[in-house]
Structure formats: C-alpha cells, structure tokens
Amino acid sequence: MLATPIGNLEDITLRALRILGEVDIVFCEDTRVTRKLLNKYDLHANLQSMNACSEEGKIDHIMDLLADGKKIAYVSDAGTPCISDPGVKLVSAVRMFNKSAGHEKQIKIAGIPGASALATALSVAGIPTNKFLFFGFLPKKKGRVTMIKEICESKYTVVFYESSHRILKLMYQLKAYASHKKITVARELTKVYEEVLQGSADDILAEFENNPQKQKGEFVVMVSE
C-alpha cells in the first residue's frame, strides 16, 4: 500500500519511488493518473488497474500473483490507499490468507507512507487535533442530515472529505446546524490555488458566494469548537 501525491507530484518519498521501480506489478485505480506520476520519474512499471468497481473481482488474481512470489504495489489516484479509497478488501484478503498459511508462505504487507489530504489539512488548520473523528465522505442523500447533526454535536474535531458538487450545499447545511462551530475548509492542498478558509459557516458561505471559483477543486472540511 503505497501513498502517492495529492496534487503536487514532488510529494512522494524516495522509498516510494524506489519501490515503484522495483516491484513486478503496480496495481492502481486509474492507469492514466498513475502513468503521469511514473513518467515524471522516468519509471516504467507494469501498470494494471484495480479500482473500487473491480476490487472484489481482482482479488483472487492478485492473491494468486502474491502467492506466486510476485512483488506488487497498490496505489490509489492520490494520497494514501484505503483512506476513502480502494485497497481495504485486498489488505483484508492478504491478512485472511496469512492467518491460515504456514510460516514460510506468509505474504508481507507494508504501508509506504506519504501524502494524505486528511493529515495535510489538519496540519494547516490550527484547530484541536489531539483527538479527532474522520467521517470520510458524507452520504449524498439518505442519512446526510443525521450525520451532519452528529458532526455538529461532537465535542471533538470532525474531519471529512467533500466534493465540489456539494460544497455549497454543505455550507448551507452547516449554517443550519452548526452556526456555533468553527469551520475550516482546506481547498486544493499542495496545488496552485491551495487555500484554507476559516470562520463560521456563514463566513465561508459568503466567501464562496462572492468568489464562485473557490467552490471548485478538492476539499477537506473540518468542524471544531
């Protein structure tokens, strides 16, 4: 499980680059996205896809390759695999296999750390981070309001991911249920238009409405005291 950049292609470790150059196969979410990263570093890995839709169906194939001694890296499109990204089912399959396999047949799993939007956002927010809850993506419709109420009632900082399609709607919802909370929105982290907006939901809403271009891009939202 190998972490890749969340925007700026320089955000990858030396170890990750070495491993991408050494493994037999790099499984990735989208070969076009990962190819760009590999091209930047002149790496010529054997790239194959495994995304959220195909993860279930590809596990047996990957397990056969691993049991055969092949070295495999898994990368998602951006950031750390398994954090609101595919990879969990594969790791779980390897762990199940290892439980029943003998000592000499164990498959080693390593996390190759690197960027994650979650940690990057918290590191620039200036809000309590000693205890926080991470909600991934909120539901698009059913259960969304219930979850937003839960977020607003939490005494801990709550962090979640939101897409540009729903960021404005989210601010209206936070305005309705969390007018007393501090909202931090980390947008386009590590990229050209990177910025952090902080204030009440009302303040952020005004910022978005006065500058519609700020509603574009990728967002991490944090709700705190």
CA distances from 112 to 9, 49, 103, 192 (A): 16, 19, 23, 26
Taking the least distance from each CB to ligand SAM, the nearer of 190 and 215 is 190
Q: Measured from the CB of residue 217, what is the shortest distance to ligand SAM in angstroms? A: 7
Task: Pick the closer one to ligand SAM by CB: 190 or 200.
Answer: 190
Tokens of 61: 């194939």
Nearest CB to ligand SAM, comparing residues 6 and 38: 6
State in angstroms the smallest separation of the CB of 221 from ligand SAM: 8
**Interface ranges with ligand SAM (CB under 6 A):** 6-7, 76, 78-80, 83-85, 116-118, 161-163, 186-191, 218-220
Sole residue written with tokens 């309705």: 176
Whole-number Å distance between alpha carbons of 223 and 122: 11
Q: With H, G, I as helix, E, B as strand and everything else as coil, classify residue 103.
A: helix
Query: Within 10 Å of residue 75's Cβ, how many Cβ atoms?
Result: 30
Q: How far is the CB of 63 from ligand SAM (least distance, A)?
A: 23
| Least distance to ligand SAM, CB of residue 87, Å | 9
DSSP letter, residue 106: P
**Of 197, 204, 199, 134, nearest to 168 (Cα)?**
204
Residue nearer to ligand SAM on the CB measure, 84 or 98 = 84
- Output the residue with the shortest Cβ distance to ligand SAM: 79
Closest to 117 measured CA to CA, from 18, 212, 217: 217
Query: Within its chain, how far is the Cα of 190 from the centroid?
Result: 14
Least distance between ligand SAM and beta carbon 80 (Å): 4
Q: Which residue lies nearer to ligand SAM by CB, 93 or 186?
A: 186
